[in-house]
Structure 1
Amino acid sequence: MSKQATRTARSIALFLALTLVASCGTLPRSGPNKREIFQGSVLNGGDAFIVAVNPRVTAATAVTPALGFSSEFAHAGLLGADTIRPGDTLGLIIYENVEDGLLTNAGASASLIDEVQVDASGMIFIPYAGRLRAAGNTPEALRRLITRRLDEQTPDPQVVVRRLAGDGATVNVVGGTATQGVFPIERPTRTLTGMIAAAGGVAIEPDIALVNVKRGNRTETAYLSDLFKNPGMDIALRNGDTIFVEEDTRAFSVLGATGTQNRLEFETEVITAIEALAQVGGLNANLANPTGVFVFRNEPQEIAAAVMGRDDLIGTQRVVYVLDLTEPNGMFDARDFVIRDGDTIYVTEAPIVAWNRSVSALFGSLGTVTSAANTVTGL
């Protein structure tokens, strides 16, 4: 074949290669680049606010879960170790200062009333004294109450009240503890941490352990670590409480040019952007653009308004926070920026990566087509 024909064939090959690359549209990559994300901002007609992270933004967005116990739970007093409760069994001895008493047999100075059951409403029945509220009283308080009632019937009665046995006050412990079951409220277990200790402690990572306390129709939650940091949160327990220990279920996703891409659960109560990136091995040194680390988040109205300094926002807003790790304070900002449940962290690729990919695709395609053209011209 002539040189002219060869040149023509190679020109056709180049044209076909360029056409092939152009027809492919977007070359394979991990996601949008920095420029494309900025094009989706509200300023460009998109539906997301693009916000550069700085100390003011980190302060406005540093919102952690509002967990803890209400004043009603926190200010409840400790149950006395000898407080009588529904289900308890009592033993009474009544001494009368007369020969023929109301309750004593002939020739006896005392009457034994054994195994008096405290009913579900907390009441007991004593002959000649009637129905009395026992639950909530100590044996001494109940003794004085019975004495006053009998004093109207017999002169100077002497009463002894003892707690014998019974179900008393109990708490259900379930979930992520070493032992689950029904535990009595006793002197060592009158508080939340004491009861958890009695159940063998938690069987999950303490840093992400949540302690739920259900009392009646209310359920309140606190981090286990906060119970030790703040003794005021180590609340007193009540009969019928249910303690449920579970793992923190908050999670975030990391995508793009990182060591790995995954959905990750929180390993601590608070996690920052730097710590989140560290969990996936940091930025990929061969791909990542350190000026384009983005955090995608649906931001509540009040926080979005504070971040943007606006008062015309209505409802939840889509916000994309930008971290530039090459800025003088970039690493500090990333270290202070708090990640929240549901966040998506995306690391863009460096522009040179896209360029190399395009060149590789172009010349790889050109080589393939040229080889085919040479085959044709060689015929």
Structure 2
Amino acid sequence: MKFASIPWAKPVFVLAAASLLAACTLPRLGPTKSEIFSGSVQKEGDAFIVAVNDRVTRATAVVPALGFSSSFTNAGKLTPDTIRPGDVLGLTIWENVDEGLLATAGTNATPLEEVQVDSEGFIFVPYAGRLRAAGNTPEQLRVMITEKLQDQTPDPQVEVRRLAGDGATVSLIGTVGAQGVYPIERSTRTLSTMLARAGGVTIRPEIAQITVIRGNQQGRVWFQDLYDNPQLDIALRSGDRIIVEEDTRAFTALGATGTQSRVPFETQDLSALEALAQVGGLLSLSSDPTGVFVFRNEPAEIANQVLGRTDLQGAQRMVYVLNLTEPNGMFLARDFVIRDGDTLYVTEAPYAQWTKSLSLITGTLTPFASVQTLTGG
């Protein structure tokens, strides 16, 4: 009797082949749900696996803290003619006497040309002494000189002019319309107006970050927050360096998703649901909606709060599990915040592996197509 003539032979052969293929691991996109769970601390692994719920979404909803310190926000606006170190000034002093302190015989006006403000911001005026010029306007300096001289000569009259120097300036670099050094003028005394003077930002406003460096201090804000929160539109100071750059945060997408790559953030806040949409969503024929995982190294303070503990120290390996088939699964995915450096992984559905096995056994695929299917191509 031939083997092929036995009615039950072919089904038995198919089942045997399926068992053989099951014993041999087929090519796949990554670990299965059971393999991920086997790495949990409860099973002597090194990662805490946590099912996402409302409490977990609240505990992990941490976003980058950007802003300016009080030294930035409390600084008053500069006037456009504020004197700075390196400026060159011209002084003229009139005295209401025939023979004054400074004037030569037959004149009552004394010009002092090209008086340079030194690196510490001071100038020297005869009989008035060393005076601080930097940070003052020409008018304020005029009053200071007049007060110093009026006890030595009657009714002195003083004129102060800026002969050379840019006054107060700032530098702008990065993704702005025109990089360069700009004077602080009456119309550009704040951060937002100076950015507008430089042609605005040349990247999408949602991902633009503005850094201001002032001496040994710096602050950073989102571009959009300048307009949502007027307090962040700080007054500028001479020497400020303004850097406009794109948000560098990113997450990694792997598994049964539309894209497997490192993906930059497109908004200030990014939820798990938005991250899935950003990479093309789940694959209808292979993704398992019960197996959406977020891998993260979580700071100890957050890990303790999530796990209800107080003894953890240092960063902890955490695996957050989202089940989109649960009644509130989509809401939890919408509320769970993705952070910089996260890995978003979606497991394959068991059906996908079974389809691969069955296709290979029954020979419904050509050899080339079989290889592509088995390798997830």
Q: Do the structures match in fold with TM over 0.5? A: yes
Displacement of 1:183 in angstroms is 1.2
Partner of 1:21: 21
Write the distance in 1 (CA, Å) between the matches of 2:217 and 2:94: 46
In 2: Cα distance, 1:109 partner to 1:209 partner: 59
1:45 is matched with which residue? 44
Runs of 4+ in 1 over 6 A off after TM superposition: 4-7, 10-16
Letter of the structure 1 residue corresponding to residue 30 of structure 2: G
Give the equivalent residue in structure 1 for 2:371: none
Equivalents in 1 of 2:125, 2:118: separation in Å? Answer: 13
Aligned pair in 2 of structure 1 residues 14, 347: CA closer, same or farther (>3 Å)?
A: closer
**Which stretch has the larger CA shift, 59-68 or 219-228?**
219-228
What's the offset of the Cα at 1:13? 7.9
Contact 1:87 1:167 in 2 (8 A): no
User: 1:19: Cα distance to partner?
Assistant: 8.2
TM-score, normalization by structure 1: 0.88
SS of equivalent residue, structure 2 residue 187? helix
Aligned partner of 1:237 in structure 2 is 236
Q: CA deviation at 1:276?
A: 0.6
- Conserved? CA contact 2:209–2:245, under 8 Å: yes
Q: Take 2:55 and 2:22, find their aligned partners in 1: how far apart are those partners?
A: 44
CA contact (8 A) 2:96 2:108 kept: yes
SS at match of 1:187: coil
Aligned to 2:143: 144
Return the alpha-carbon distance in structure 1 between the equivalents of residues 310 and 14 of structure 2.
57
* Aligned residues with identical type, % of pairs: 64
Deviations 1:81-116 (A, max 9, x none): 332222223232211111122222333332233332
Residues 86 and 169 in structure 1, CA contact (< 8 A), matched pair in contact too? no
What residue ranges of structure 1 are gaps of 5+ in the alignment? 369-379
Question: For residues 351 and 116 of structure 2, what CA distance do their matches in structure 1 show?
Answer: 83
Give 2:138's aligned amino acid: P
Change (3 A) 1:276 1:19: closer
**Structure 1 pair 16/322, CA: closer, same or farther in 2 (3 Å)?**
closer
Partner of 2:375: none
Gaps of 5+ in 2: 368-377
Other-structure match for 2:348: 349
Partner of 1:284: 283
* TM-superposition CA deviations, 1:310-333 (whole Å, max 9, x none): 112121111111111111111111
* Greater displacement, 268-277 / 182-191: 182-191
2:248 matched to 1:275?
Answer: no
Deviation digits for residues 293-323 of structure 1 (CA, Å, limit 9, x no counterpart): 1111111101111111111212111111111
> Residues 337 and 355 of structure 1: is their aligned pair in 2 closer, same or farther, counting only changes over 3 Å?
same
RMSD across aligned C-alpha pairs, in angstroms? 2.5
> Could you say which residue in structure 2 is the equivalent of 1:75?
74
Report the equivalent of 2:186: 187
Counterpart contact for 2:83–2:134, Cα < 8 Å? yes
Task: State how many pairs are aligned.
Answer: 363
SS at match of 1:163: strand
Instruction: Write the letter of the residue equivalent to 1:208.
Output: I
Counterpart mapping for 1:156-175 below 5 A: 156-175=155-174
Residues 250 and 341 of structure 1 are in contact (CA less than 8 Å); yes or no, is this contact kept in structure 2?
yes
User: Contact 2:82/2:168 (CA < 8 Å) preserved in 1?
Assistant: no
Equivalent-residue separation in structure 1 for 2:308 and 2:296 (angstroms):
18
**Structure 1 residues 110 and 362: alpha-carbon distance in aligned structure 2, compared to 1, 3 A threshold:** same
Residue of structure 1 equivalent to 2:104: 105
| Aligned-partner Cα distance in 1 for 2:4–2:28 | 38
Q: Distance in 2 between matches of 1:54 and 1:211?
A: 35
Compute the TM-score of the two structures, normalised by the length of structure 2: 0.89
Task: Find the aligned partners of 2:226 and 2:119 in 1 and give their Cα distance.
Answer: 32
CA distance in 2 between partners of 1:16 and 1:57 (Å) = 45
1:256 maps to which residue? 255
Indicate conservation of the 8 Å contact 2:82/2:167, yes or no. Answer: no
Bigger proportion of residues as helix:
1
Match of 2:374 in 1: none
Which amino acid is the alignment partner of residue 146 of structure 2?
T
AA paired with 1:32?
A: P
The Cα shift of 1:207 comes to 1.0
Aligned position for 2:373: none
- CA-to-partner distance for each residue in 1:246-296, whole Å, 9 max, x for gaps? 111110011111222221100111111111111111110111111111111
* Structure 2 CA distance for partners of 1:5 and 1:279, relative to 1, 3 Å: closer
